[in-house]
Structure formats: structure tokens, C-alpha cells
Amino acid sequence: MPAEILDMVEAINDALGRLEDALEAERAFTAEAAHALRTPLAVLSARVAQLRDLPGAQPLRDDVARLTRLVEQMLSAAQADTLVVDPAMQSDLAAIARSVVADMAPIAIAAGRQIAYEGPDACPVMGDADAIAHAMRNLADNGLRFTPAGTEVTLTVEGTGRLSVRDHGPGIPASHRDTVFKRFWRGAASDLGGTGLGLAIVKRIAEAHQAEVGISDAAGGGALVSLQFHRPPSALPPDRGLLPGLRREAAGQPA
Ligand SMILES: Nc1ncnc2c1ncn2[C@@H]1O[C@H](COP(=O)(O)OP(=O)(O)OP(=O)(O)O)[C@@H](O)[C@H]1O
Ligand SMILES: [Mg+2]
């Protein structure tokens, strides 16, 4: 190869290396900044809680809650960026979904919504249980925010290693199905208090698992967001997982 081309290739490689370092530094900065903000925010939150019914206290509490959510989501996004999934790791998708439903049931009930699990007793997939739970919580959180009062958010697991979260809200229009995964994108629903990072985190966690993310319309209306995971080579054929142990666990009452 001519020397000037070799020089150019070297220069490009150097530049890419510096870019990678800069990106890494940015990620580390985001993670450290978000982490450093957590403690003072927790202190602020406790102080604001003591203001009780003083005039102006509620908007202040709402602001602190929003800021806390933003910092938590920024930290999650930075953590998801560096997520590497050990190919030998296995998790039970059904157990994770049930525990997410149980964790989020009080939030759903307090908001007058329901949350339920439908699927087999167990469904082994390849992946990191903590990260998968994190992705599911973000999807369930979206569902609970958009589903109308008195309706249900359903987490369904299929024996093929597929998780779907459905709600009864307005759905996600086909024209937005790529954009919703962009960081800080919140669409018309920005007044619902999100930070626009949840689906970007879900997408990154899916990528680390080589899992496919899909958005479609649920039958009868609402959004249906799915993650298709890989099953371990040792797993039973998918239909065996679905038949005997199919169960439903629900929390919350219709309004
Ligand atoms: N189930 C859903 N139904 C309708 N629109 C949705 C749904 N889930 C996401 N969206 C749209 O996609 C946007 C991005 O969602 P994402 O979860 O990334 O951010 P967010 O929920 O606004 O904030 P957060 O970082 O707190 O999750 C939402 O603001 C909303 O406009
Ligand atoms: Mg969200």
C-alpha cells in the first residue's frame, strides 16, 4: 500500500481512537455527575418533604421528584451504555416479569390502574436478570403512565423467550416508532413528567442481549412493546413451556 495511504489510515485510526476516548470520558462524566447528584438530591427531597402544606411546597416537591427521576435515568443510561452480557448467563424471564409486576403493583394501585402477569411459570433465556428487569420496569412504567384509569398493563411472557408489555393508552404511532428510542425524546406527552430516556435505556439493554425490540398496536387499542430474547440451547421446546404452567397474576382494581 502506498505510504501516503498508510499515513492516512493511521491518522484515521488515531482520530477514531481519540473519539472513542472522548466518548468514554463523556460516559464516565455522566455516570459520575449523576451519581454525585443523588445524595444532595435525597437530602433536598427530605427537607422539602418537611415543608408539608406550606404555600408553594407541592410544586417544589414535584420539581425535586422530576429532578430525582432525571438523575436516576441518566445514571441508568450511563450504566446501560457499558453493559456487557456474559454469553453464559441465564435468567428466568417469567420470574423476572412476575417480580416486576409485584414491585410495581403498589404504584399501579395508587394510580388506579392494574398490572398483571400472564405466561408460563418459567422461561429460561440468555441474559442478565438485573438488566432485563430494568428494561421491563421502564416498559411497565410507560404503560402505567399512558393507560387510562381503571385499565390494565399486562406483561406477557411466551415460551419462545418473548416479553410483551401492553397497555390501553393511545399507542405509539408508526411514524414515531424509531424516534421514541432517541435519548430525551418525549413526544407530545412531555407534560406527563418523563425524561425521555426510558426507551433509549431499553434499546441499549436489548442490544447488549442481541434481543429484538418491536413496537406495534395492541389488539383493541394501546401500545404493545416486545423484546425477543434468545433461549439457551438446553431449553425445552417453546410450546412445552407454555402449556402446563400458564398462569395469571394481577394486582389492582378497576376504578
Ligand atoms: N406505552 C406508550 N404509549 C404511548 N406513548 C409512549 C409509550 N411509551 C413511550 N411513549 C412515547 O415515547 C416517549 C419516550 O418514552 P421514554 O420511556 O423513552 O421516555 P419517558 O417515558 O418520556 O421518560 P422516562 O425517561 O422517565 O422513561 C414518551 O414520552 C411517549 O411520548
Ligand atoms: Mg419512560
Task: Specify the residue with its C-alpha closest to ligand 1, atom 29.
Answer: 186
Q: Are 53 and 95 within one domain? A: no
Grid-cell match 402446563, residue found:
244
Q: How many helices and strands in the chain, by DSSP H and E?
A: 6, 8
Residue percentage of the chain with pLDDT more than 90: 58
Q: Residue 177 Cα, ligand 2 centroid: separation in angstroms?
A: 14
Q: Are 51 and 114 within one domain? A: no
Q: Residue 184 Cα, ligand 2 centroid: separation in angstroms?
A: 10
Q: Are 137 and 217 within one domain? A: yes
Region 103-108 average pLDDT: 97
> Which range of residues forms the domain containing residue 166?
90-251
Question: Which domain CATH number covers 132?
Answer: 3.30.565.10
| Euclidean distance between CA atoms 183 and 62, whole angstroms | 22
Average pLDDT across the chain, whole number: 90
Task: Specify the residue with its C-alpha closest to ligand 1, atom 26.
Answer: 194
Domain end among 38, 54, 81: 81
> Each residue of 18-75: pLDDT tens digit?
888 888 888 888 889 888 998 888 989 998 888 888 888 898 898 899 889 999 999 9
The reply to whether ligand 1 has any atom less than 6 angstroms from the CB of 153 is no
More confident residue, 255 or 42: 42
Torsion of CA 104, 106, 111, 117, to 10 degrees: 50
Q: Are 72 and 94 within one domain? A: no
Q: Residue 128 Cα, ligand 1 centroid: separation in angstroms?
A: 23
Q: Residue 52 Cα, ligand 2 centroid: separation in angstroms?
A: 29
Question: pLDDT at position 132, please?
Answer: 98
The reply to whether ligand 1 has any atom less than 6 angstroms from the CB of 71 is no
* Closest atom, ligand 1, to C-alpha of 138: 27
* pLDDT for 140 beyond 70: yes
Number of domains in the chain: 2
Say which range, 9-23, 163-177, 210-224, 232-246, has the weakest mean pLDDT.
232-246
Nearest to 161 by CA among 207, 126, 116: 126
